[in-house]
Amino acid sequence: MTNHTRALTLVLGGTGKTGRRVVQRLTAQDEPVRIGSRSGGLPFDWEDPATWAPALGGVKAAYVSYYPDLTVPGAAEAIGSFAEMAVNSGARRLVMLSGRGEDEAVACEKALAESGADWTVLRCSWFAQNFSEGYLLEPVVSGQVVLPVGAVGEPFVDADDIADVAAATLTQAGHTGQVYELTGPRLLTFADAVAQIAATTGRPIGYTAVPAAGYAEGLAAQGVPAEVIELLTYLFTTVLDGRNAHRGDGVQQVLGRPPRDFADFARDAAATGIWNHK
Ligand X SMILES: NC(=O)c1ccc[n+]([C@@H]2O[C@H](COP(=O)([O-])OP(=O)(O)OC[C@H]3O[C@@H](n4cnc5c(N)ncnc54)[C@H](OP(=O)(O)O)[C@@H]3O)[C@@H](O)[C@H]2O)c1
- The DSSP annotation for 60-84 comes to SEEEE--SS-TTSTTHHHHHHHHHH
Contacts of residue 121, defined as CB under 8 A and 6 or more positions apart, other chains included, come to: 95, 96, 98, 109, 112, 178, 179, 180
Q: Measured from the CB atom, is 65 or 171 closer to ligand X?
A: 65
Contacts with ligand X, 256-275, as mask; x by CB under 6 A: --------------------
Window 82-111: residues binding ligand X (CB under 6 A): 97, 99
Is the alpha carbon torsion for 76, 155, 140, 277 positive or negative?
negative
Note the Cα 238 to chain centre separation in Å.
18
Sole binder of ligand X in the list 6, 38, 110, 267 (CB under 6 A): 38
Q: How distant, in Å, are the alpha carbons of 104, 129, 197 from that of 99? A: 9, 15, 24
Using the contact rule CB under 6 A, the part of the chain among 44-52, 141-149, 186-194, 212-220 near ligand X is: 44-52
Q: Which is nearer to ligand X, 24 or 203 (CB)?
A: 24
Which of 31, 33, 46, 181 is close enough to bind ligand X by CB under 6 A? 46
Distance in Å, CB of 255 to ligand X, minimum: 18
Q: Residue 1 Cβ, how far from ligand X at the closest point, in Å?
A: 26
- How many residues bind ligand X, per CB under 6 A? 26
Q: Which is nearer to ligand X, 69 or 192 (CB)?
A: 69
**18 vs 120 by CB, closer to ligand X:** 18
| Percent composition of the chain: helix, strand, coil (DSSP 3-state, to 5) | 40, 15, 40
Nearer Cβ to ligand X (3/72): 72
Residue in 47, 222, 256, 271 binding ligand X, rule: CB under 6 A: 47
What span, in angstroms and rounded, lies between the C-alpha atoms of 258 and 184?
Answer: 8
3, 27, 39, 88: residue in contact with ligand X (rule CB under 6 A): 39
Q: Which of residues 18-37 bind ligand X (CB under 6 A)?
A: 18-19, 37
Greatest pairwise CA separation for the chain in angstroms? 54
Rounded CA separation 130/141 (Å): 13
* CA dist list (Å): 38 to 44, 46, 56, 93: 5, 9, 14, 22
Number of H helices, E strands in the chain: 11, 8
| Contacts (CB under 6 A) with ligand X, residues 126-165 | 126-127, 130, 134
CA distance 199 to 241: 27
45 vs 203 by CB, closer to ligand X: 45
Binding site for ligand X (CB under 6 A): 13-19, 37-39, 44-47, 65-67, 69-70, 97, 99, 124, 126-127, 130, 134
